[in-house]
Amino acid sequence: MKAALILGAGFSKNSGIPIQSEIPGMLVTNGYEGEFEAAVSEVLKKFMEEVFNYDGSQNMPNLDDILTCLDISTNSGHHLGIKYSPVHLRTIRRLLVYRVFTILEKSFIPSKDVSALVHKLSKTYETSYIVLNWDTVLEKYIRMVLPDTGVDYCSGGYDWENDGLSKDRVKVIKVHGSCNWLYCDNCRALFHDQNDSFSLLEKGGFQNIDFELFDELRKVSGKEKILSGKKCRICGNIVSSHIATFSYRKSFRANSFPRIWEKAEEVLADSDRWIFIGYSLPEADYEFKHLLKIAELKLRHMRKKDLLIDVVLLNSSSTPQKYKGFFGKRINVLCNDGIKGYLSYI
């Protein structure tokens, strides 16, 4: 039996990764060591003070609001106030993505329940994963629990290191990109850093101009190390991170990762069971929900057995009703006791 697992932020939360609403409060704290990190915090803090009227309290702007403002302004060539031109905003975006990646990478704590889940599912089903998170939590568990299994991102990209190509591979389809993906703006090649060959600084893709625009960055020493990014193996250009951010005016499916979204639809339509873990069906994901409905219906008349849908949540009061309204009687299991509770259903 083929099973497609759809993983939301709640899946990663089991391993210590903060959910999206928790990240803004971690962007400008004092818990980052080094001169460069302090400068990043100061630049981001001033940006939030001047653009979102942040006053140092707990009332932080949402991450999707910050990224939407940045993306729309830079893509349209407009300022955010007199101080923040599109050039400044591109630097802010690089700093913000770098800091978010730092938070995601340093927050990971292994979970016995998640390890048991990945192992048990691999023995029970022919599994594929659809992931809506940027982090590499799932990949870490695959390496720990299934060391002889590689990851196929189904993106048309290249692995930065070519070892492991002969391994059996599990499909991991990341519809919003991943913090271990690197992109070349010149030849448009996409690379996957599956062996942690890139440091967080190298993923940042920082440029000389970034250190000329803000006083805090201009004072930083050791810029050579920060700017020493890795070069594209095809054309020699510097590569940097590649993710889709939460700009509501941008179509993920049409403009960001069309090949990946097509593969997600194909995998979902071909699966006998869908297992949602830690995904709240948010309104902002209207394109992904549309993809789910297409995949549910397109081959329904050909199926010998009905599609089964399992939903795994943790103490949610509102999300179960969302699933019931969207999938109705198609839901087979609705477990509100988390991953630990769901293990007994497999």
- Read off the pLDDT of residues 91-132 as tens digits, 9 standing for 90 and up: 999 999 999 999 999 999 999 999 999 999 999 999 999 999
Quote the pLDDT of residue 182: 93
Q: One digit per residue, pLDDT tens: the chain, 346 residues?
A: 999 999 999 999 999 999 988 999 899 986 788 999 999 999 999 999 999 999 888 788 999 899 999 999 998 999 999 999 999 999 999 999 999 999 999 999 999 999 999 999 999 999 999 999 999 999 999 999 999 999 999 999 999 987 545 578 999 999 999 999 999 989 999 999 998 899 998 898 898 999 999 999 999 998 888 887 788 999 999 898 888 776 544 555 655 688 999 999 999 999 999 999 999 999 888 999 999 999 999 988 888 889 999 999 999 999 999 999 999 999 999 999 999 999 999 9
Distance CA 283, CA 322 (A): 10
Quote the pLDDT of residue 249: 47
Distance CA 91, CA 40 (A): 10
Give the orientation angle of helix 86-106 with respect to helix 63-76, to 10 degrees: 150
Tokens 């070069």 belong to residue: 231
Per domain, the residue ranges of the chain are 2-17+109-176+247-345, 20-107+183-243
In sequence order, what E strands does 238-324 have?
239-243, 273-277, 308-312
Give the orientation angle of helix 286-297 with respect to helix 258-269, to 10 degrees: 40
Quote the pLDDT of residue 87: 97
Bridge partners of 181, per DSSP, are 192
CA distances from 227 to 56, 92, 204, 260 (A): 31, 16, 9, 30
The token duo for 66 is 């910050």
Nearest to 167 by CA among 142, 189, 186: 142
Q: For 44-95, how does the pLDDT look when each residue is reduced to its tens digit (9 = 90+)?
A: 999 999 999 998 887 889 998 999 999 999 989 999 999 999 999 999 999 9
Decide if domain 2-17+109-176+247-345 falls under CATH 3.40.50.1220. Answer: yes
Distance CA 273, CA 311 (A): 11
Quote the pLDDT of residue 81: 94
Tokens 């080094």 belong to residue: 34
Quote the pLDDT of residue 252: 56
State the CB neighbour count (10 A cutoff) for residue 14: 20
Backbone angles phi, psi at 8, to 5 degrees: -105, -170
